[in-house]
Structure 1
Amino acid sequence: MTDTALPPSLVSHPDNPVPEGARVGRFAAEDGVALRYAYWLRSDGPHRGTICLLHGRTEFIEKYFETIADFRKRGFAVATFDWRGQGGSQRLARNPLLGYVDRFEDYWVDLKSFHRSVLLPDTPPPYYAVGHSMGGLVALHAAVRDRMMFDRLFLSAPMLGLDRQRLSLRGTARLADALCFFGAGQLPVGRRSERPPSERAFANNPLTSDFRRYMRSVKVLEAEPGLAIGRPAVRWVAAAMHAMDQAGTDSFPVAVKIPTLMLAAARDSVVSTVTTERLGLRMRTGRHVLVPAARHELFMEADAIRAQVLAAFDAFITTQSR
């Protein structure tokens, strides 16, 4: 484990200013990993509780400033943090650009440590989880482990499956486990030709159709390259595949007892929209909505698509809050 976490501050850019009132710091997870966090109390409207914002793989707090402002205008406080191994939190691999985690359960350690150390003492109840991609998968597993942690889950393109896989999730997990056994856990997975976000890469990007929001993240990484991570490690693949496979078992949907709304992106090429739809049909306390024309990063999409996402949030969270 390498302590390469950035100082506990937020990167401000003219195109992406830090929302006023930020409280920023670092806290130690139960196993000692240093994680960067930030929270904002509500800015307008009636008191509605706190949104716990859970990012996807490779993401960082700064990417969600616009969305944080949207939640605060609705009367919510917002609390968020960078997962271990990415953003401004402690990196875990010899190569700090490698996406790495020992076990997917370590993200649960991050979340419950954040809940105990920051969310409960510093922000008002009730608590609602908003999770994107990998953060959505963590939120679902958290709901199975502790049904009292959040009142509701609102998930954006949750990472429940992958399309165009040669092997099943379980088969890929076993292959990755075997590679880890032989010492290859920190080898990167994916093509060397995969390019990091840049203006040139926008045309073929799978994340968003909105150039301005895409470039906002690019400019943050240009200002602070230390926030970036690249390809995932074999060990991360093993951990993620096992977690997605578990979410696909017959017992998982009925074990989620928290009201849940999952948004699936119709043009998602990062995670499997079909898998999200299948889980939504099998959950007793949850459902799914397909967002037309949307790519993977629903909160970073064009205004018309993003308006649908926020309308779904309002119907499911805002109107149900205090």
Structure 2
Amino acid sequence: MAEAEFFHDAGYPVPGHGKVWFARTVDGARLRFASWHPTVRPEKGTVLLVQGRAEFIERYSETIAELRRRGFHVLAFDWRGQGGSQRFTGRPRRGHVGRLAHYEHDLALAVAEMQARLPAPHFALAHSMGAALCLDAARREALPVARLVALSPMLGISMIEHPRLARGLAFALYWLGFGKAFVPGGGETAISTKPFDGNRLTGDPVRYARNAALSAAARELSIGDPSVGWIRTAFALMDRLSAPRAALEVRVPTLVIAAGCDPVVSTPAIERFASRLKTGSALVLPTARHEILMESDAIRARFWAAFDAFVPGENLEAALSAGEQGQGGPVQGLVAGGEDRAALGGAATAP
């Protein structure tokens, strides 16, 4: 697949000089990948960019460009059932996955592609569902990266009013043969194309409009609401991560960044999980909604300050020293002081 086969839209720049290809998981799913080289020297390694549900590579063009300007190679991919990867229902805009093992196969393939194609050190930057899957992989020692930044990880779903009832219904409908059906009341409209007012994703109208235009135009990449199978899979993943020892089993140094005004996933659940991490900590951005990387410039600046101190290419100590001198913004005291030293426990709130 050539670079020209990326979806281009006016006002939505897709980073140039990218390489696009397809690869198959161990169970045969065909996934779309893309990679870019850094635009500056020295090179700092590779960031695996792991998206959330209903997203696709092109939505992260701005983030990809920013990572490249920091000296990183970038690898991105689309989960099965969304973006440019293989769909498994007769209605391709239905967001479906059958079992948690399917997502595990997808992430394993992404890690293998990164190790085979792109230089170390390897890092991961993950959002929402992708962040939860990376935390679970790290717990199972299946995420061989030097550091993980987990944004708004899906450890609890706030938008489900009665989670126990929803969980039981999802499992029952799945076993009754309705796994590929939309969740009750679901449809094909992508969440990012709904009106800005009252949206759950971002407070930035410009970035929201840009993503809405992209999703509306790139219908072949967009999906609507999830299937019963996806909901069942999500609850299975959250059940794993809610186990008392789950956070203790994460050995990858991790920075969890939560959105203080997140109506999609549970910020209290994120804080509880992060407080138990031995090798990580949490930062809460008070006014951010769910999609931190699609938020306002001020919120994104706080995110990048934390990222730059926590995911160094070469000199973490210098980055931390800058933070201690007041140049690191909200990251003071939040990140590890060395490659193998644990970060402080608990959560902090950015100013």
Match of 1:136 among 127, 131, 138: 131
Instruction: Quickly say closer, same or farther: Cα 1:233–1:192, change in 2 above 3 A.
Output: closer
Corresponding position: 1:111 with 2:116: no
3-state secondary structure, aligned to 1:226: coil
Deviation, 1:198, is 6.5
Corresponding position: 1:56 with 2:52: yes
3-state secondary structure, aligned to 2:49: strand
In structure 2, give the amino acid aligned to 1:278: R
Corresponding position: 1:159 with 2:154: yes
Q: Look up the match of 1:240.
A: 234
In structure 1, give the amino acid aligned to 2:253: P
Q: Distance in 1 between matches of 2:298 and 2:163?
A: 35
CA contact (8 A) 1:257 1:285 kept: yes
Identity of aligned residues (%): 40
* Worse-matched range after superposition: 40-49 or 54-63: 40-49
Q: Distance in 2 between matches of 1:173 and 1:140?
A: 21
RMSD: 2.1
Instruction: Quickly say closer, same or farther: Cα 1:193–1:22, change in 2 above 3 A.
Output: closer
TM-score (norm 2): 0.84
Q: Look up the match of 1:37.
A: 33
Q: Look up the match of 2:213.
A: 219
* Worse-matched range after superposition: 171-180 or 212-221: 171-180
In structure 2, give the amino acid aligned to 1:142: A
Instruction: Quickly say closer, same or farther: Cα 1:142–1:33, change in 2 above 3 A.
Output: same
Higher RCO structure, 1 or 2 (CA under 8 Å, sep 6+):
1
Q: Distance in 2 between matches of 1:298 and 1:198?
A: 14
Q: Distance in 2 between matches of 1:200 and 1:139?
A: 28
Structure 2 unpaired stretches of 5+: 317-351
3-state secondary structure, aligned to 1:79: strand
Corresponding position: 1:71 with 2:67: yes
In structure 1, give the amino acid aligned to 2:281: R
CA contact (8 A) 1:51 1:77 kept: yes
CA contact (8 A) 2:108 2:142 kept: no
Deviation, 1:164, is 5.6
3-state secondary structure, aligned to 1:225: coil
Deviation, 1:149, is 1.2
CA contact (8 A) 1:24 1:36 kept: yes
Q: Distance in 1 between matches of 2:4 and 2:80?
A: 14
TM-score (norm 1): 0.92
Q: Distance in 2 between matches of 1:164 and 1:66?
A: 27
Q: Distance in 2 between matches of 1:197 and 1:219?
A: 12
Q: Look up the match of 1:274.
A: 268
Match of 2:248 among 254, 260, 281: 254
Match of 2:24 among 22, 28, 36: 28
Instruction: Quickly say closer, same or farther: Cα 1:35–1:315, change in 2 above 3 A.
Output: same
In structure 2, give the amino acid aligned to 1:26: F
CA contact (8 A) 1:8 1:24 kept: no
Deviation, 1:45, is 3.1
Instruction: Quickly say closer, same or farther: Cα 1:286–1:147, change in 2 above 3 A.
Output: farther
Q: Look up the match of 2:278.
A: 284
In structure 1, give the amino acid aligned to 2:104: W
Structure 1 unpaired stretches of 5+: 1-6
